[in-house]
Amino acid sequence: MSRQSRAERWYGHLLRLYPADYRERFGVEMQQTFRDLYREQRHPAAGFWARLAADAVRGAASENLALMRSGEMKLYWSNSADQRVLAWGIGLMAPAGLFFMAAAAGVLRRVQLPVLRPSLPVLQILIVVLPLVALAINAVALARQITKRRDRGLSEKFVTKYFWTLALMIVAGGWLVLLFGHDTIGCALQNLPMLNWAGFQHCSATH
Amino acid sequence: MNNSVSPLTQPAFYVLLALHQHERHGYEIMKSVEQESGGQTRLGPGTLYGVIKRLLSEGMIEESGERPDPERDDERRKYYRLTVAGRQRLGVELGRLDQAVRRARELGINFAGAVR
């Protein structure tokens, strides 16, 4: 594969960030314009690629926002390749939510709220149950959408449901951190994989 | 002069300016914008086609069926040209800019931004 072909293929991947109907309308022209632009560069430097990538990402963000505002979000996820991209994104949401909780714990560990603290078994249940509920909602919704809406694209309701799930995890995580502080959460998470009740009692006693 | 319309964005202004003389395809528009702006405005394909989409939807430009050199040109290229509405809009914008420059000169502001 020639250098030009590789570059065009790479730019084609970038264009996948755009809404499907936009790509259908302008995709070929944008590829053609990129081809001309690339030919002009005898030795494309890193700056050329950086400008091009920034331009494509900015343009795609703007077009997707415009689509969301117009209430035609479902058009965006109009083929199975787009659905795969979304599936990966959604699959990473739950770990990202947990990571966010851990990061927030580091920032907020000194915050103390004058509220009643639930007992440690309740904390354990919340830590285990909330992400599992979020994951279950994600998995069920994703499976339903991909099997039943393969040809029609994902619905706006479906996408909204995912964002609400992520928001729920972030809020729940933040709430737990505010309530218990970083040390107790960290200790509880460390003991979680073994479901070690003695470990939880230890956390409660030491933090 | 119609002052009720909002000013054009800089990329939109230069795209209309690029199409003022004759129809052009995307890459030609891009090069013309760079040249006419003295290299200060450089559009990537993403920005360019975002502007083209908006100008098409507002009826200021349209696709042109004519091809200057059909023998040598790639038939997948699309050419764009100004509509009557686009030409009028460009005139309004030029008038607005001209008025702003005249007012600045009346206030004694030169191109370097210094006050006499």
* A69 min Cα distance to partner chain B (Å): 15
Instruction: Please judge whether B49 and A59 are an interchain contact, meaning their C-beta atoms are less than 8 angstroms apart.
Output: yes
Q: What is the pLDDT of residue A115?
A: 46
Give residues 52 to 71 of A whose Cβ lies within 8 Å of B: 52, 54-60, 62-63
CA geometry: angle B56, B62, B66, nearest 5 deg: 155
B68 touches chain A (CB under 8 A): no
- 3 state DSSP class of A152: coil
Residue A124: pLDDT above 70?
A: no
For A17, which residue in chain B has the nearest alpha carbon? B46
Nearest CA to A162 among A153, A154, A150? A154
Residue A150: pLDDT above 60?
A: no
Per-residue pLDDT reduced to its tens digit, A54-110: 899 889 888 877 876 666 555 445 555 556 666 666 666 666 666 556 555 554 444
C-alpha distances (whole Å) from A163 to each of A150, A156, A175, B116 are: 21, 11, 18, 58
For A202, counting Cβ atoms within 10 Å of its Cβ (0-12 exposed, 13-18 middle, 19+ buried), the class is: middle
Residue A42: pLDDT above 60?
A: yes
Q: What is the pLDDT of residue B5?
A: 75
Instruction: Please judge whether A26 and B76 are an interchain contact, meaning their C-beta atoms are less than 8 angstroms apart.
Output: no
C-alpha distances (whole Å) from A40 to each of B29, B31, B74 are: 15, 11, 17
Residues in Cβ contact with A81 at an 8 Å cutoff, skipping those fewer than 6 apart: A16
Q: What is the pLDDT of residue A66?
A: 81
Cα(A140)–Cα(B102) distance, rounded to whole angstroms?
A: 65
Q: Which residues of A touch B78 (CB under 8 A)?
A: 29
Q: What is the pLDDT of residue A179?
A: 65
Per-residue pLDDT reduced to its tens digit, B83-96: 999 999 999 999 99
B105 touches chain A (CB under 8 A): no
Q: What is the pLDDT of residue A194?
A: 47
| Average pLDDT over every residue of B47-53 | 95
For A195, counting Cβ atoms within 10 Å of its Cβ (0-12 exposed, 13-18 middle, 19+ buried), the class is: exposed
Residue ranges of E strands in B1-116: 24-25, 61-64, 79-82
Count of positions (residues) in chain A: 207
Residue B98: pLDDT above 90?
A: yes
Give, to the nearest 10 degrees, the angle between helix A120-148 and helix A197-206: 120
Radius of gyration in angstroms for the set of CA atoms belonging to chain B, rounded to a whole number:
16
Cα(B112)–Cα(B104) distance, rounded to whole angstroms?
A: 12
Average the pLDDT over each of A40-54, A162-176, B72-86 and give the range with the smallest value. Answer: A162-176
For B27, which residue in chain A has the nearest alpha carbon? A33
Average the pLDDT over each of A34-38, B49-53, B69-73 and give the range with the smallest value. Answer: B69-73
Share of chain A above pLDDT 70, in %: 33
Mean pLDDT for chain A overall: 68
Cα(A200)–Cα(A196) distance, rounded to whole angstroms?
A: 7
A138 falls in which pLDDT band (50, 70, 90)?
A: low
Count of CB pairs separated by less than 8 Å, A with B: 58
A76 touches chain B (CB under 8 A): no
- 3 state DSSP class of A2: coil
* B51 min Cα distance to partner chain A (Å): 10
CA geometry: angle B44, B47, B50, nearest 5 deg: 145
* B87 min Cα distance to partner chain A (Å): 24
| Average pLDDT over every residue of A119-133 | 61
Residues in Cβ contact with B83 at an 8 Å cutoff, skipping those fewer than 6 apart: B59, B60, B61, B62
- 3 state DSSP class of A164: helix
Q: Which residues of B touch A28 (CB under 8 A)?
A: 76
Q: Which residues of A touch B25 (CB under 8 A)?
A: 29, 32-33
Average the pLDDT over each of A26-30, A86-90, A165-169, B62-66 and give the range with the smallest value. Answer: A86-90
Which residue is associated with the tokens 């091009």? A52
Question: Which residues does residue B80 pair with via DSSP β-bridges, in sequence order?
Answer: B24, B63
Q: What is the pTM of this model?
A: 0.58
Instruction: Please judge whether A37 and B30 are an interchain contact, meaning their C-beta atoms are less than 8 angstroms apart.
Output: yes
Cα(A201)–Cα(A119) distance, rounded to whole angstroms?
A: 10
**CB atoms inside a 10 Å sphere around CB A178:** 16
Q: Which residues of A touch B77 (CB under 8 A)?
A: 29, 32
A33 touches chain B (CB under 8 A): yes
Share of chain B above pLDDT 70, in %: 84
